[in-house]
A = this chain, B = another copy of it.
Amino acid sequence: MKLYGYWRSSAAYRVRIALNLKNIQVEHISVHLVKNGGQQHQSEYTNMNRQELVPTFVTQDEISGETLTLTQSLAIIDYLDELHSQGSLLPASIQDKALVRSMALLVACDVHPLNNLSILQYLSNDLNIDDEAKTKWYHHWVHKGFIALEAMLEKHSGKYCFGDTVTLADLCLVPQVYNANRLKVPMEAYPNIVRVWNACNKLEAFDKALPENQPDAVVQ
């Protein structure tokens, strides 16, 4: 099994946490998102992932033996979770599962995509948006999402996003907070988000998945 990722990619970070929680060993292959205009745009990679985004997960189909190439972090995580169902990342009840998915999708659909590298590059290169307005854009969408997520955590969180067990929602929250911190989003209004983020980072699976703990990390 191979995971094509990048230390700073939030979506790859989510999958790394899942792999660690499930104790699944894979080969990590770094796709440098910036060097030489971005390795994710080179044909060697785009043959596997036409979206030119990380991560991509490559494995062998257990039944047919064929190569299975999966894109989209949440699809990869669901796959890993079903394959290794012990310590499921989703609650058992249909209702609870839906609540966890709605938290995860809030981040994955309505926060992260708006602040992705490719979008920030488009804002600069195609729309000539300056750095100040770009930072404002970034903060705006994080705040929109975090206001809603904080309200959900107020209602549903325990030690983690949903009760006292780590779920898919935590796998989405942690990389998003990491990213928000990097872009200096004020977090005072989100005590539950910060509390859950701290609780998660105490776990080895989350710590090992931290961007700066990856072999391809460039830490100044």
Chain A contacts to B: CB under 8 angstroms: 49-53, 61-63, 68, 70-72, 74-76, 78-79, 82-83, 93-95, 97-99, 101-102, 105-106, 108-110, 112-114, 118-119, 122, 126-127, 129, 133, 136-137, 140, 144-145, 147-148, 151-152
Contact = CB atoms under 8 A, between A and B. Distances in A.
Given A113-B110, A127-B127, A148-B50, A122 B101 contact: no
Contacts of A133: 126-127
A164 to B, nearest CB: 19
Given A109-B108, A127-B129, A127-B137, A76 B98 contact: yes
A113 B105 CA distance: 11
A102 B151 contact: no
B122 A137 contact: yes
Pick from A79, A102, A110 the residue with the most CB of B within 10 Å: A102
B51 A78 contact: no
A70 B141 CA distance: 21
